[in-house]
Amino acid sequence: MRNLIVTVVVLMTLTITAQENYKLQNTIEINTSVDFKREIISYRAKIIISLDQISYGNSECNTFEDLKQRYFTKLEAKGIDTNKFKENKLEYLGMYYQKEGTIYTYETSSKEEISKMMSVRINGVTNSSLEYQLRLDDQVYDKLLEEALVKAKNKANRIALQTNRKIGKIVRIEDGSSDGVSRVYYAPQSEVLHFSITFEML
């Protein structure tokens, strides 16, 4: 009885394997790509305010509070809302500056606003970095997928024609894209979205 059960299991396994191999033999996988550019939805600047940043011999600010107040006054004169600054004192402490200071971040969806804020210059304040938050929204993604499907189908048809066969329905789509929203420290460039599309072969 045990031998019979083992035989049945082996036969079932072989049958399933044969079916899977048959499916693979009767499909065609097409790799294709489309160019796109993510939309910028926000800008985030990191600002370091530190007495360590003050040039030697500069006596405009004697204390950290004087330095911060002078910087914020210049920002407000430019129409910048200083309440939007978020402080991260702990990050500053982790950078091992010798003198008192802090780190602020400023985030906005306006390119004009972030440019105006970063144009304010004062001895003792450094624009440390600028971060872009990018998004690939659903409508744009749908258009990219549609374009990729057309390209893949055309290529699959050309290959099938050479083998005297036809393509059928799509049996699998693999998408190599990342999540819709991401943050980068460089100006966004054109990207490539990769798809792997498998068609049934008739």
Contact 185, 131 (CB under 8 A): yes
CA distances to 16, 52, 71, 81, 135 from 117, in Å: 65, 22, 11, 9, 23
Query: What is the C-alpha radius of gyration for the chain, rounded to an integer number of angstroms?
Result: 30
DSSP 15-58: HHHHHHHHHHHTEEEEEEEEEE-PEEEEEEEEEEEEGGGSPTT-
So what's the architecture of 26-39+136-201 in CATH?
2-Layer Sandwich (3.30)
- Residue whose pair of structure tokens reads 């997928």 in the numeric block: 145
- What DSSP designation does 197 have? E
Stretch(es) of the chain classified as CATH 3.30.110.170: 26-39+136-201
Q: What are phi and psi of 175, to 5 degrees?
A: -115, 125
CA neighbor of 134 nearest in space, from 41, 62, 201: 41
Residue 120 CA to residue 5 CA, distance in Å, equals 81
Entry pTM: 0.72
CA distances to 15, 155, 198 from 202, in Å: 21, 16, 13
pLDDT for residue 178: 67
- pLDDT in single tens digits along all 202 residues of the chain: 544 444 444 334 433 443 444 445 689 999 999 998 888 999 999 999 999 888 655 557 778 999 999 999 999 999 999 999 999 999 999 988 889 999 999 999 999 999 999 999 998 999 999 999 998 888 988 999 999 999 999 999 999 999 899 999 999 999 877 666 788 888 778 888 899 999 999 8
So what's the architecture of 40-133 in CATH?
2-Layer Sandwich (3.30)
Question: What residue type is assigned to position 197 of the chain?
Answer: I
Stretch(es) of the chain classified as CATH 3.30.70: 40-133
Residue 163 CA to residue 199 CA, distance in Å, equals 15
pLDDT for residue 180: 67
- What DSSP designation does 119 have? T
